[in-house]
Structure 1
Amino acid sequence: MAESEYDSSVKAAVIVGCCLILGLTAAGYFVGRGALRFKSDVRTVTVRGLVEREVSADEAVWTLSLRRAGDDLSEVHRRISKDRDALLAFLQQQGFSAAEMTRQPTRTVDKLAREYGQPQAGERFRYLVSTAVVLRTTQIEQLQKALGATEELLKQGVILDAEREGNIANPRYVITKFNELRPELLALATKNARIVAQQFAADSGVSVGKIHSAHQGSIQIFGSDGHDESSAYSPTSTAVKKLRLVSTIEFELR
């Protein structure tokens, strides 16, 4: 009799335990479904915030290249050294210091030492010697004046080599405080995006909440002539630039 009562108690405990497990499982399922449904009910609006800022360059890099050719190597080197001295003197006369000038190495090409051993058609001289002086300065206005005075070099027989510049702007105007401007531009773009979102929300009878997600976007640099100068190898470069940032931001609606 006692054994029968014990078996009945065990069976009852097992049944109660199973019911408890099933109940907890079901509760967890419905709670999870409720959380998913709540998350999917979040309404959002995605807008773009545009900001543009005109900024003046605070540094300029001007590469002045020289080249001479001839059959007498010593004479060619003498002439290009004289040209470089005249160029350095010209820059000093324009108000630039020696610390702002950097002499580039002199490069000599012997056309007879090339793989084919003979000058190509149309080449008159055996030796080609080139060098350059790089001016890096914060005196933007002074540099622009010097650009208009390069005729003085021509009067001395000094010819600047434009071929070495390729398709890259020369001089190149730079904004060195670019990273310092980034947070301010991002804040303004976010502010403008919220204004657009608020207009949308007002038309829909709702209000704008917190940011749900955001994509900063890249900052583009345009010259005062409208050309894109975002690349360091841009063929144009102006002293006054326009920075443009377009951010994509998703706001919650409530």
Structure 2
Amino acid sequence: MNNTPRYLLLPCMIIAIGIALAGFFIGNTLYKSRVALNTVTVKGLAERRVDADQANWKINYSVSGKSKSDIPDLYKESESNKNRVLDYLKKGGIEDGEIRIGVISYSSEEYRNEDKVLVDERHTLTGVIEVETTRVSIIEAVRGTINELMVEGIDITNNPSQYRFTGLNKIKPEMLKEATKNARIAAAEFATNSGSEIGRIRSARQGGFTIIDVGERFGDTKRLKKDVRVVTTSEFYVDN
């Protein structure tokens, strides 16, 4: 049995109808706003082929002896070999400011027979010379001939050189502009095919820049030529 006084029924009904109508209008407004928001999301690509602008190269040189007592003489020989390597680099056009001389490291190995008796030993001094330059092409030229020092009796390790592109910030703005332009072209083509027109941009998201050696799937230090790539994601309004 309903105990609600009759004089309260009419106000309650009015409030309930008001709430229902408010919910309808709010829901209808949201629905219409979604329908009216016609957009298309596309990706834009920009690519550049660039040259490495920095090169790094390490050369190791080693001397060895069979006794720890040989170390003083080994050190003198190591210093002589270091100077010969430096002379070769400078004759090849590499400048003092592009060369860094590392410390000499010492290592030893012992060889024992089955009875644990020492039968041989080896003591080695290894030095390192590092070259860093923005004159990338000169590294290729000198590195291609430095093995001639081996013929002169110097034990060197001609490590692979590394080539880097450091000018990304200089080309970023133009690449982003190009990627956004290409995204608009893709959006316009979509709109044309659907009988619409592309409007202004609603939002844009920048992907990360990637630098890859030409001809490689990953890595950016092996080759002089690099491919720089960026993809942007843009959302455009579409006018029917």
Query: For residue 29 of structure 1, what is the amino acid of its counterpart?
Result: G
1:34 aligns with 2:24: no
Is contact 1:54–1:241 with CA below 8 Å preserved after alignment?
A: yes
8 Å Cα contact 1:119/1:126 also seen in 2: no
- The CA deviation at 1:27 is 5.7
Which residue of 1 is the match for residue 134 of structure 2? 138
1:195/1:151 CA distance change after superposition, 3 Å: same
Describe the shift of the 1:111–1:204 C-alpha distance in structure 2 as closer, same or farther (beyond 3 A): same
In structure 2, C-alpha distance between the alignment counterparts of 1:79 and 1:32, rounded to whole Å = 89
- Counterpart amino acid of 2:108? D
Tell me, yes or no, if structure 1 residue 58 matches structure 2 residue 48: no
More displaced stretch, 93-102 vs 179-188: 179-188
- 1:137 to partner: Cα distance: 0.6
Shift in alpha-carbon separation, 1:44–1:120, aligned structure 2, 3 A: farther
- Hey, what does 1:69 align to over in structure 2? 64
Matched, 1:161 2:150: no
Higher strand share: 2
Partner of 1:52, secondary structure, is: strand
User: Aligned with 1:176: secondary structure?
Assistant: coil
Kept in 2: contact 1:69–1:129 (CA 8 A)? yes
For the 8 Å contact 1:221–1:228, the answer to whether it is kept is: no
Deviation at 1:230, TM superposition (A): 4.0
| Change beyond 3 A, Cα 1:111–1:200 | same
* Residues 83/204 of structure 1: CA separation in 2 closer, same or farther (3 Å cut): same
Q: TM-score, normalised by structure 2?
A: 0.79
1:187 aligned counterpart, secondary structure: helix
Q: Is the Cα–Cα contact under 8 Å of residues 63 and 155 in structure 2 kept in the other structure?
A: no
Q: Summarize the Cα distance change of 1:17–1:230 in structure 2 as closer, same or farther, 3 Å threshold.
A: farther
Indicate the residue corresponding to 1:5 in structure 2.
Answer: none
Which residue of 2 is the match for residue 243 of structure 1?
Answer: 228
* Mapped partners of 2:17, 2:226: distance in 1: 69
- Cα distance change on mapping 1:183 and 1:228 into 2, 3 Å: farther
Is the CA contact 1:69–1:125 (under 8 Å) kept in the aligned structure 2? no
Q: In structure 2, do the counterparts of structure 1 residues 89 and 38 end up closer, same or farther at CA, with 3 Å as the change threshold? A: farther
Which residue number in structure 2 is paired with residue 183 of structure 1? 173
Maintained 8 Å contact 1:67/1:80: yes
Deviations 1:115-138 (A, max 9, x none): xxx5699x9642122221110111
- 1:78 matched to 2:71: no
2:187 and 2:79 mapped to 1: Cα distance?
65
Unaligned runs of 5+ residues in structure 1 are 1-10, 113-117
Q: Quote how far apart the aligned CAs of 1:201 are.
A: 0.7
Deviation (angstroms), 1:50: 1.7
Which amino acid letter does the alignment assign opposite residue 128 of structure 2? A
Q: How does 1:198-217 map to 2 (within 5 A)?
A: 198-217=188-207
TM-score under structure 1 normalisation? 0.75
Per-residue CA deviations over 1:97-117 (Å, capped at 9, x if unaligned) read 2111111121111335xxxxx
Deviations 1:8-50 (A, max 9, x none): xxx89xx779957963x45643443134213422223232212
Superimposed CA distance per residue, residues 165-213 of structure 1 (whole angstroms, 9 cap, x where no aligned partner): 5xxxx21111111123222212211111110111111111111223344
Which SS does the other structure have where 2:26 is aligned?
A: helix
Q: Percent identity?
A: 28
Shift of 1:63: 1.3
Query: Structure 2 CA distance, aligned partners of 1:105 and 1:18?
Result: 92
Match of 2:4 in 1: none
Partner of 1:250, secondary structure, is: strand
Which residue in the other structure is 1:93 paired with? 91
129 and 241 in structure 1: CA distance in 2 versus 1, 3 angstrom threshold: same
Structure 2, unmatched stretches of 5+, are 1-6
